[in-house]
Amino acid sequence: SQQGEEDPQALSIQEGENATMNCSYKTSINNLQWYRQNSGRGLVHLILIRSNEREKHSGRLRVTLDTSKKSSSLLITASRAADTASYFCATLPMNSGGYQKVTFGIGTKLQVIP
């Protein structure tokens, strides 16, 4: 089963609007990352937020983390057509012992209409 589950599964907005995507997870995490994937391509890392952080910014991106609710949100402000892509959250569970147990969600498909 997926550790991270994104919501919504698909989102369509007008250029200039803000887009918000959510990610929920089940177990305690060490950190959470957001990635973007353009159609049929590899994933591009966007931002990493650690379990002791609550909010992080990178350009037009804002990520929040609520460990009590086991959820994170990715906000893209002033969206552009080029932001059209799928967005994934990836979680690294706590105490993974240094071994790779990063788990990706199914993703949110964002469409930004010009």
Residues that bind other proteins (CB under 8 A): 2, 30-31, 33, 35, 40-45, 48, 88, 92, 96-107
Give least dist CB 98 to other proteins, A. Answer: 4
Type of residue numbered 39:
S
Residue 41 or 54 with smaller CB distance to other proteins: 41
Residue 71 or 108 with smaller CB distance to other proteins: 108
Give least dist CB 35 to other proteins, A. Answer: 8
Give least dist CB 102 to other proteins, A. Answer: 5
Burial-class residue 55 by CB neighbours within 10 Å (0-12, 13-18, 19+).
Answer: exposed
- DSSP type of residue 77: -
Cβ 65 vs Cβ 94: under 8 Å: no
Residue 13 or 102 with smaller CB distance to other proteins: 102
Structure-block tokens of residue 51: 């379990």
Give least dist CB 84 to other proteins, A. Answer: 17
Residue 18 or 58 with smaller CB distance to other proteins: 58
Burial-class residue 36 by CB neighbours within 10 Å (0-12, 13-18, 19+).
Answer: buried
Q: Which residues contact 98 (CB under 8 A, 6 or more apart)?
A: none
